Amino acid sequence: MTRFNTALTTAALALGLAAPAFAQDNPMVGGAPMYADKTIVENAVNSADHETLVAAVKQAGLVDTLNSEGPFTVFAPTDAAFDKISDESLSQLMMDENKDQLAKILTCHVVSANAMSGAIAQMIADDGGMHPVPTVGGCTLQAKMEGQDIVLTDEQGRSATVTIADVKQSNGVIHVIDRVLLPAM
């Protein structure tokens, strides 16, 4: 941090203001910078890799929830992950009459905690290689390590790998995943 930024941060803290977000450790996601001082939704709308997820969150009526204080950990499927679902099935899920089912699927990607990848990996190790992850949607995912990667298995036995971890948000963290997770049907 430059001397100017350090002085400005010190002055802001002395005045009780939030420190400016000059140096962010967050990765780029979908070609867009992710800012630790923005909410999950505020960041996700800028990711070109999460257009389907953002549309689904809007359709399911979850924008206010994911903009709230949290903390939340969101396992965020990319558009390519949604492409693994047939166009017909995805279109049906996005219909107004299937809003509850869509919300159930999406909330099975959300944990009501701020779980960074290091903490998840430690919980997996502490549990002997597999850790249950209860979600806001009432699903339980199983987390394990495959090499350096965190892999989540849903209630249907489908696995998703965390491809970008620890994208800090003001109300939690996002871990980008390569598959849509589903609840038991």
Which pLDDT tens digit goes with each residue over 64-117? 999 999 999 999 999 999 999 999 999 999 999 999 999 999 999 999 999 999
Assigned domain for 48 exists: yes
Residue 3 lies in a domain: no
Please count the other Cβ atoms lying within 10 Å of the Cβ belonging to residue 55: 14
Residue 92 and residue 101 in contact, taking contact as beta carbons nearer than 8 Å: no
Specify whether the backbone of 138 is left (phi greater than 0), alpha (psi in -120 to 50) or beta.
left
Q: Tell me, what's the pLDDT at 27?
A: 81
Quote the strand ranges of 58-146, DSSP E. Answer: 72-77, 110-111, 131-134, 140-146
Domain assignment present for 6: no
**Is residue 108 situated within a structural domain?**
yes
Buried b (16+ CB within 10 A) or exposed e, 152-183: bbbbeeebbebbbbbbbbbbbbbbbbbbbbbb
Domain residues for the domain of 148 are 36-177
What is the model's pLDDT at position 5?
32
Q: Is residue 15, in this structure, part of any structural domain at all? A: no
Quick check: 106 and 56 in contact, CB under 8 A? yes
**How much is the pLDDT for 135?**
97
| Lowest pLDDT segment from 11-25, 42-56, 118-132, 154-168 | 11-25
Pairing label, strands 72-77, 110-111: antiparallel
Residue 184 in domain:
no
